[in-house]
Amino acid sequence: MQQGYTGPEVCKITGISYRQLDHWTTTNLISASLRNIKGSGYHRIYSFNDIILVKLVNKLRSAGISLQKIRLALKNVNKILGSKKSISDVSIFSDGSSIFVVTESDQMVDLLKRGQAVFGISLGPVHTETQAEVFSLYPEKIATANK
């Protein structure tokens, strides 16, 4: 079974507030893919890949990208990736107004259908950084974070 993380753990790992995480999850920007139960007495459980997406959204928000654009970009990147690739295997770029992804064929695709100069967020280092944060905060969970 895949290792899961509660909302407070995700917040501690990513540095966002619980209110942000709750809003992003409630509006289906991010999902708690292991357990997304609503109601009192139940906790959402996020996967390691969910944490990567939370960090990506946070980095894009810090770059000034709106949640509407991020939502569209995530929808389109999932279409491009399909089920064969992990989001950690690609690089996402932004110029502050549009969002791009580099495909397997080394093509840069504008996820919002516009083209401009870009800066990059490589998710490989985000993956490594997140692993280190998880290990330092929850060493018992790192063994299953790579699955």
pLDDT digits (tens, 9 = 90+) for 19-63: 999 999 999 999 999 887 766 667 899 999 999 999 999 999 998
Q: For CA atoms 22, 28, 31, 33, give the dihedral sign.
A: positive
Tell me: pLDDT of 120 over 80: no
CATH of the domain at 58: 1.10.1660.10
Structural domain containing residue 92 = 5-145
Confidence of residue 116 (pLDDT cuts 50, 70, 90): very low
Number of domains in the chain: 1
Q: Does the pLDDT value for residue 133 go beyond 80?
A: yes
Q: Does pLDDT of 118 surpass 60?
A: no
β-sheet bridge partners, residue 128:
none
Selection from 122, 115, 87 nearest residue 100 by Cα: 115
The answer to whether 52 and 127 are in contact (CB under 8 A) is: yes
